Amino acid sequence: MARRLTAPMLTVLITLVLMGVSSSPVLTSFADSPVISSTEGRQDTLDVDCSGYSFEDLFEYDFALFELNVLDDWATGDMYANAWVNGSNSAIVRDNLDGLFEGLPGGDNDWISTDERDAVRSIGPKCIADMETRLGMREGIPHSGGVDWNDFEFVEDGIGLDEVNLVPEGHPDARTCTNFGAAADCKEVPTSTTDDMEISLSVADGQNHNVRWDQLPNSGVSNFTLAMNISNMSNAALVVTFPVLQGLRMYDFRVMDNQPASGQTCDHIGEPSFIYLPDGALQVTQLVNFDRTQWDLYCDMFMDFTTQEPAMNDIPAWTGEAPANGTIVPTSGTGTWPFASADVGNGWATDENGWSLQCSFDEAGWSVSTNVLGDFFITQPADSTQATATCAPVDPLGASDENDTRTWTFGTLYTATATVDNDGKNARLTITSTGLVNEFLFSARATQNGQMGAIGETVSVASGPTVTAVSLQAIRPGAFSFAVMAEASSMLDHEAVLALGLTKPNSPPVVSVAVNFDGENATWDDSQLKFEMYGLVSDPDLEAVTMSLTICGAEYQGFNIDGINWVVEVSTAICLANGLTNYDVLITAVDESGASTQLAVSIPSPVSEEPPAVAPPLVDDESGALPSLSFLATLSMLGAALLLQRRKPE
């Protein structure tokens, strides 16, 4: 019998990537296996058993990021994760979540509701705690097998779950839940909805960890191996950060597979990358891209770590790509700003065992750091605008060439203010140089929730304030920021996002009515009981527009909008029912932000067939009183006809 995917807890998706056994998908229906039960028939009283399930058995994601912080006790950790689900994959998730509630009110009806969402949130931590894990860590000599996959387990009380857009707010197809027992404010959307969504895992409020394992006896000081099963993980990144431990380094890596009959291998899995954070902590990043259709292929990954000093330890050295002495590193002011991407910054120095950038500042409060991707950041305190730093690459054993340091100047490059034009088409950004450099080139684009405005002009900024116009094309009404770039001689290129508290005003839609070949605003059908109108509609802010009209005091919403073209067929039944003959209409177009435009349109009455004209009787021109001869003859003929009709036999 064919089985359907109704397994538990798709909302816990991001954590389950690291869990479960590698096998073909477990497709179990509610009827086949009592995965979820309810004593009261309500979603908020569910019990759940997720034993034996893995994330890949249940879920298709576009990308997932997992961050594991090993805590100082080497027995607990914080797992943070985020999964992005887009387009058709999000429809699959919604459908599977709805199937999770098969047999319960509102479940498995091709609609995903806020009640189902809340139920999933409540049982999520319990489901995760049941799952088998994919991570193990063991002290001793390097090994490629025998790892206990249950070394890591999730702690139910420490698990926090959240989702974004599972049931999109304001969706055009949303409706009030129709099932018995639904909450008063319950809303549901079709499971076919393809709006993007996110699922996230974190440490629950009031807790300090959400994962634990058997503590390493020597707390990482002796050799240990981190093992992970990565079978069927499609597109994901695992970032593991260890406690600060002098000399900790990764010295070997390998991937093993089960060599299935299909001939598939795990050779496509690349080696992890690693960096040392400013505090000296080792951070390892492993990227995985796996064909999830290869269910017969099992892949196990092994990372070997040690604190033993290598026989030969090379001192890290600058490369030719490193900034020279005297280089200016610009910022946008107080705060934390990126100043080099991982691809750029990691090329500034070289060392077989990795290196980190360490800088000593002549002003308090300044510091450099990196994120999980290895990008470089500078933090500037509120009471300082400029500082000079002496920087050097340092390897994990603390080795550094004290005679080969670089001196760089960090500081605020400019101050910025901005206004928005009254028509909302442009913003005016005023840039004032702080004198950090004599002159620099500057450009800006509006940005809003990942949407970029039109490319603006590049201006030269020197001693005085410089104003540049920034187009707000493609930016919707509401708050927006500026994505800015600056470059100058002897200065690192500067990129930043400025949030200056500006809001783009809303512009109402523009609507027009076309005329037909007769020059009329409407075309009546043959019955003359309805007419058709068409025209154009657009919104300056590129928002979606809805249209309606009123006729004879009644509202009508049957508009068909395709791009900027609209057409509507209007019945006049309401007019006839009320004895009204004025068919003029008032069209209303409303954008997503609520701005509206109204257009009054005159509608011609339908053309009616008039009876043929009857010629008046001829009048004698002279007397003006006697009928003509032809008229008398006609009367005689009518009289004779009536007489014959009366004489017909009975």
Rounded CA-CA distance 641/645 in Å is 6
Domain boundary pick from 256, 281, 306: 306
301, 374: one domain: no
**The predicted structure's pLDDT at residue 146:** 67
Determine the length of the chain: 650
Domain boundary pick from 306, 328, 354: 306
List, run by run, the mean pLDDT of 10-residue segments along the chain (650 residues).
32 32 26 38 52 65 88 92 85 84 85 89 80 80 69 88 86 89 92 89 91 87 87 84 88 87 84 80 86 77 87 86 96 93 90 84 93 85 95 84 93 96 92 96 93 91 94 89 96 94 92 92 92 93 90 92 94 91 94 92 76 52 44 39 41
Report if residue 380 sits inside a domain: yes
453, 576: one domain: no
Q: Lay out the sheet containing 426-433: strands in order across.
A: 414-420, 426-433, 466-471
Domain boundary pick from 363, 383, 412: 412
Cα–Cα distance list, 617 to 291, 629, 636 (Å): 97, 11, 16
Rounded CA-CA distance 247/482 in Å is 43
**The predicted structure's pLDDT at residue 321:** 95
Query: In the numeric block, which tokens belong to residue 435?
Result: 């004198």
**The predicted structure's pLDDT at residue 308:** 84
253, 352: one domain: no
Report if residue 620 sits inside a domain: no
207, 90: one domain: yes
- Total number of domains in the chain: 4
Rounded CA-CA distance 405/222 in Å is 33
Report if residue 472 sits inside a domain: yes
CATH number at residue 333: 2.60.40
Report if residue 359 sits inside a domain: yes
402, 422: one domain: no
81, 199: one domain: yes
Q: Which residue has the tokens 């002549």?
A: 362
Report if residue 312 sits inside a domain: no
Rounded CA-CA distance 93/50 in Å is 17
- 200: exposed, middle or buried (Cβ count in 10 Å: 0-12, 13-18, 19+): middle
Report if residue 231 sits inside a domain: yes
E-only strand ranges, 423-540: 426-433, 440-448, 451-452, 459-461, 466-471, 478-487, 494-504, 510-513, 523-524, 530-538
431, 356: one domain: no
Directed axis angle between helix 87-100 and helix 114-130, to 10°? 80
Instruction: Tell me the backbone φ, ψ of residue 427, rounded to 5 degrees.
Output: -110, 150
Nearest Cα neighbor of 176 from 191, 193, 189 is 189
175, 189: one domain: yes
393, 438: one domain: no
Report if residue 624 sits inside a domain: no
The DSSP code for 430 is E
Rounded CA-CA distance 49/353 in Å is 45
The helix/strand/coil state of 296 is coil
CATH number at residue 529: 2.60.40.10
Q: Lay out the sheet containing 386-394: strands in order across.
A: 328-331, 406-412, 386-394, 356-361
Nearest Cα neighbor of 488 from 363, 300, 329, 254 is 329
498, 514: one domain: no
Q: Which residues contact 116 (CB under 8 A, 6 or more apart)?
A: 43, 97, 98, 100, 101, 106, 107
Task: Write out 313-375 in H/E/C secondary structure.
Answer: CCCCEECCCCCCCCCEEEECCCEEEEEECHHHHCCCEECCCCCEEEEEECCCCCEEEECCCCC
151, 250: one domain: yes
Nearest Cα neighbor of 496 from 508, 487, 488 is 487
Report if residue 523 sits inside a domain: yes
In terms of residue numbers, what domain contains 381? Answer: 317-412
253, 366: one domain: no
Query: In the numeric block, which tokens belong to residue 478?
Result: 């509401």
